[in-house]
Amino acid sequence: MDITKQSITSIRDAIAGKKASAVEITQAYLDRIHQLDGAVHAFNETYADRAVDRARAVDAGEVAGPLAGVPIAVKDNLCTTWGHTTCSSKMLANFAAPYNATVIERLEAAGAVILGKTNLDEFAMGSSTEHSATGATRNPWDTERVPGGSSGGSAAAVAADFCVASFGSDTGGSIRQPAALCGVVGMKPTYGLISRFGLVAFASSLDQIGPFTHTVGDAAELLNVIAGHDPRDSTSATLDFSGPIPDYTADLETPVDGLTLGIAKQYMGEGNDPAMAQALDKAIAQFKDMGATIVDVDLPHTEYGIPTYYIVATAEASSNLARYDGVHYGHRAAEAEDLVDLYAASRAEGFGDEVKRRIMLGTFVLCSGYADAYYNRALKVRRLIKQDFDTAFEACDAIICPTTTGPAFKFGDKTDDPLAMYMQDVYTVNANLAGIAGISLPGGFAEGEGADAPRLPLGIQLLGPTFGEAKLLRIARMLEKANDYHAARPILG
């Protein structure tokens, strides 16, 4: 058994059947990280001693649960009482959180072994993980290319088999987009399904925590652990399922009877890479072969998603990041003439260029005389986007579309053109604005030119209605069973 290429279920069974110990499994992943992460930089820091101690407790029967002994990584914007929570920023380079995020608490209560914190675009603001104070993360499929962002470290860690699963945050596509570019499963749950308590805020009405895995089944396993109301999060949903949160694995292998999938013309643009268009056509054909009905749906306000997102998200970022002033916590400039100078110097030194750009944009759209023209109008358009999806889901169970316009791009290709970088999320931001569920799963490869050119993953995205995760996962599993893309692995070392 290759320990570092297993699912949650197989690791759980191996430990229960004494075929491998939790310590052996944990050490195998730590060794792989030590040997190969130098070429990828998926991790900002690892917790080897703590992870091994935790695994030892699993073997001794002191720690149990559905994830007992399963090695997991978490994005470095989730608070833990051990290590640092840096958000890949100089501003929080030495920040030690005084509490654990709810997601961390639930993972540990389920027995998970947390190996370390993964790299991200600073404060989760980016689409390539190039905007990190700790250095860029590289795509395991081709280390000359980006892994996507902002959760690029979490996606790369799973793709490279540095962990069984990982967690990221998705504000405008930051789980689904890197999942697509790294060839793994990435899920953005409905807003409010997962507690955001302990997640360092970027845009509070958009942020959502979710998993990266190799399989849809593993994503369902993790959702079972982390979903549910949290009174410490004022945006956490109180759901009426006529009972507890559903078991997302219970009917996972049961195909959806009478499945109807929607195709929106707004996602079938000429800007899609030919390989992406072919992958989508193949996925649609496979669903048809499984008996699905394909219908056209209209999402007329799709084109306004990017401008709406970059008004709402930057406005909220400007507000959330105002707390980093060099006084309360975070980086503090060594020299300042007065309080205003201290604020300015601390922020100038602590924040990177992309974060500064978004703070300035957000401050502008909120300032007196402009709020009605920009921010308030964006909120109205956001509501129209949500209504588009509500109407579409009256005619279909889910919407199928690309996750990205094409495969991963090379480092530096878009860093000088912020608008081109922002357009990398053109197929993902609207799901965050609407608060609906979305999942990206491996959908094939774009073959590079030349005998030695790397295969580059492509992602298929499925969007479902609010709190429709159970059915959405079943639909995703139907497509996964029709392919073997999820079994492919990049060659490292």
Q: At what angle do helices 305-320 and 353-366 cross, to 10 degrees?
A: 100
> Among residues 88, 128, 150, 440, which one is catalytic?
150
CA-CA distance, 41 to 57, in Å (whole number)? Answer: 29
Helix, strand, or coil here: 33?
helix
Which residues contact residue 283 at a Cβ distance below 8 angstroms, ignoring those fewer than 6 apart? 400, 443, 460, 479
* Contact present, 447 and 183 (Cβ < 8 Å): no
Helix, strand, or coil here: 174?
coil
By DSSP bridging, strand 113-118 and strand 71-75 are parallel
Give the Å distances, CA to CA, from 15 to 112, 166, 217.
Answer: 13, 20, 19
> Among residues 154, 174, 346, 440, which one is catalytic?
174
The CA dihedral of 417, 423, 425, 429, to the nearest 10 degrees, is 120
Q: Give 53-69 as a DSSP string.
A: HHHHHHHTTSS-STTTT
Please return the burial class of 27, using the count of CB atoms within 10 Å of its CB with bins 0-12, 13-18 and 19+: middle
> Among residues 75, 117, 188, 414, which one is catalytic?
75
> Which stretches of 265-365 are assigned E, i.e. beta strand?
293-297
Rg over alpha carbons for the chain, rounded to the nearest Å, is: 21
Is 205 a known active-site residue? no
Is 169 a known active-site residue? no
Is 346 a known active-site residue? no
* Contact present, 389 and 465 (Cβ < 8 Å): yes
Positions marked active-site = 75, 150, 174
